[in-house]
Structure 1
């Protein structure tokens, strides 16, 4: 009897502790304000990067965007300027190839010159690209390009910024953009999902390391984004992948930009912009910090039931595509090749 009472008291204590943690997580704290902050946005010429730069400008931040295409950069900067809140805001654009480590370092240095050599208060890494296809059709070059355009394009800038934080012993914010495919993956994303998973690993590591410099790390996991990049990737996306995603509606970049800023302001580490990404987040948390214990348990419960059903449905569609896939490979002379 005493054993049962002791167990009951332990369960009651655990329940009360869980509720206290949940309420503490929901308690309002001082939020990050981008007004007057120097914000650096990669991939800022289109899509999420541009929407984010516009939103930050509208909140009174100094904004520098970096991308490769100078023509798109000029158009993007004009759009950003249209959202200027005061004449003192510094709004700039720079053209650099961020898949190169030296160029990534040079871009940060060039941007800092506009601020008396002060590095950004917050770095938002939105650059990236996808070229979906079947893994069996890839080669070493295309696999490397996939990592360049998903992982290294953000990791090089993160490295340059982290070195600055350490050398100057100053604080900052480092914000990665992964993908829902950074939590899971499916057919067609063999050169995209690995880099997005790798970004999560890097962010998890840096969240711990950059505590040394009183700096924060954040990472967002959006689904498909209604952007020029999404239209471009659909050109090479396998038919079966398009079929699996046929019920998904891409999210507008400005909606995701708001979710990203709000997540950073709250101090969220993993930023899941919708219910589906929250289900995957809570179902694959590992040692990732909770946002709200009760909500995370709720999302994880849905995932425990729903995700196996979803995966079974996906596998069924893939198997149903087997004969069509074989015919496709034949038309590409795949079986004749020895490479």
Structure 2
């Protein structure tokens, strides 16, 4: 009985401290007339997010490299816009250098207005065992998945803090929460994005600038189709167990989670479980209490899941060894 009282007292003190120290979140419910910039906006999740922003009344700029795809996407996004909204594109290689990113975004702000919302959706995945991948592909993944998010964010942060308003979205991946066979180089870049986001969360304390870190599951996009071309059998068996989401659902949810002040945008049961287990930022009293009371149970649930992934890899190794023996 005494132990229970002590536990309850500790929880009460912790809850009180959380209420005191956590910021009162400013929720941005309206994008009307705001300038929203979406990297990787010519297809997939980025295009879906841009279409939702346009539907909510924003001026939208999408960024990508392929001018043909950008033009086609602008036409689609414009179908969601009303008279007076500006929908445009900018062709930019986000991996080139920071000066090019700075020049492009500065021009966009001069033409349309300050960037109120930045959605970092540019990214790609090349699968394979780390030692068999091309070194240039490893560098390409890190350049786009990490620096393609870090550079635009670096540019907008000072302006948003000065104006004391703004929203930033990092589109990471569930592969940034646990390491998976075949995702080694991809996970490295996305874990870096997650680490950057959780550090910036803390740097935004005391401001009305908000950052949302999204963990999309496998999503039916052109990028996912390309990813499938390099994905080992073991990786397909592991990642395929969670199903395939639509880009429209993922993009729309990311926009609204950001507007609602959520630190994490998660999808499905597996995403929720892994976010509770592995994410470090403090979002709310409810989140912390849920972690305290369920961490042991959730870890117990995830261990068999992880062991099943290891079994898939071991079975794949046996199959390869058997094929090698047959071919001798």
Asked if Structure 1 and Structure 2 have the same fold, meaning a TM-score greater than 0.5 normalized by the shorter chain, the answer is: yes
CA distances 1:11-36 after superposition (whole Å, capped 9, x unpaired): 333455678899999x9985432222
Alignment of 1:237-316 (within 5 A): 237-290=231-284, 292-293=286-287, 294-296=289-291, 300=295, 302-316=297-311
Residues 176 and 299 of structure 1, relative CA distance in 2, 3 Å threshold: farther
Note if 1:73 corresponds to 2:70: yes
SS at match of 2:212: strand
Residues 263 and 48 of structure 1, relative CA distance in 2, 3 Å threshold: same
CA contact (8 A) 1:44 1:65 kept: yes
Residues 79 and 327 of structure 1, relative CA distance in 2, 3 Å threshold: farther
Provide TM-score, normalisation by structure 1.
0.85
Q: 2:154 maps to which residue? A: 159
Larger CA deviation: 66-75 vs 260-269: 260-269
Q: 2:128 maps to which residue? A: 133
Q: 2:41 maps to which residue? A: 44
Q: Write the distance in 1 (CA, Å) between the matches of 2:144 and 2:260.
A: 29
Alignment of 1:1-339 (within 5 A): 5=2, 7-15=3-11, 30-84=27-81, 86-100=82-96, 101-115=98-112, 118-165=113-160, 168=162, 170-211=164-205, 213-290=207-284, 292-293=286-287, 294-296=289-291, 300=295, 302-325=297-320
CA distances 1:265-296 after superposition (whole Å, capped 9, x unpaired): 22111221222111001001334434733555
CA contact (8 A) 1:269 1:289 kept: yes
Structure 2 residues not aligned, in runs of 5+: none
Q: 1:336 maps to which residue? A: none
Residues 50 and 21 of structure 1, relative CA distance in 2, 3 Å threshold: farther
Residues 232 and 10 of structure 1, relative CA distance in 2, 3 Å threshold: same
CA distances 1:205-250 after superposition (whole Å, capped 9, x unpaired): 1112233654221110111111010001000111211122333311
SS at match of 1:132: coil
- How many residue pairs were aligned? 321
Shift of 1:52: 0.4
Residues 199 and 291 of structure 1, relative CA distance in 2, 3 Å threshold: farther
Q: Write the distance in 2 (CA, Å) between the matches of 1:139 and 1:232.
A: 16
Q: Write the distance in 1 (CA, Å) between the matches of 2:322 and 2:130.
A: 16
Q: Write the distance in 2 (CA, Å) between the matches of 1:78 and 1:40.
A: 16
Shift of 1:299: 6.2
SS at match of 1:188: coil
CA distances 1:85-137 after superposition (whole Å, capped 9, x unpaired): x312111111111112223222212321222xx32011010000001111111
Q: CA RMSD in A?
A: 2.9
Q: Write the distance in 2 (CA, Å) between the matches of 1:56 and 1:329.
A: 53
CA contact (8 A) 1:279 1:302 kept: no
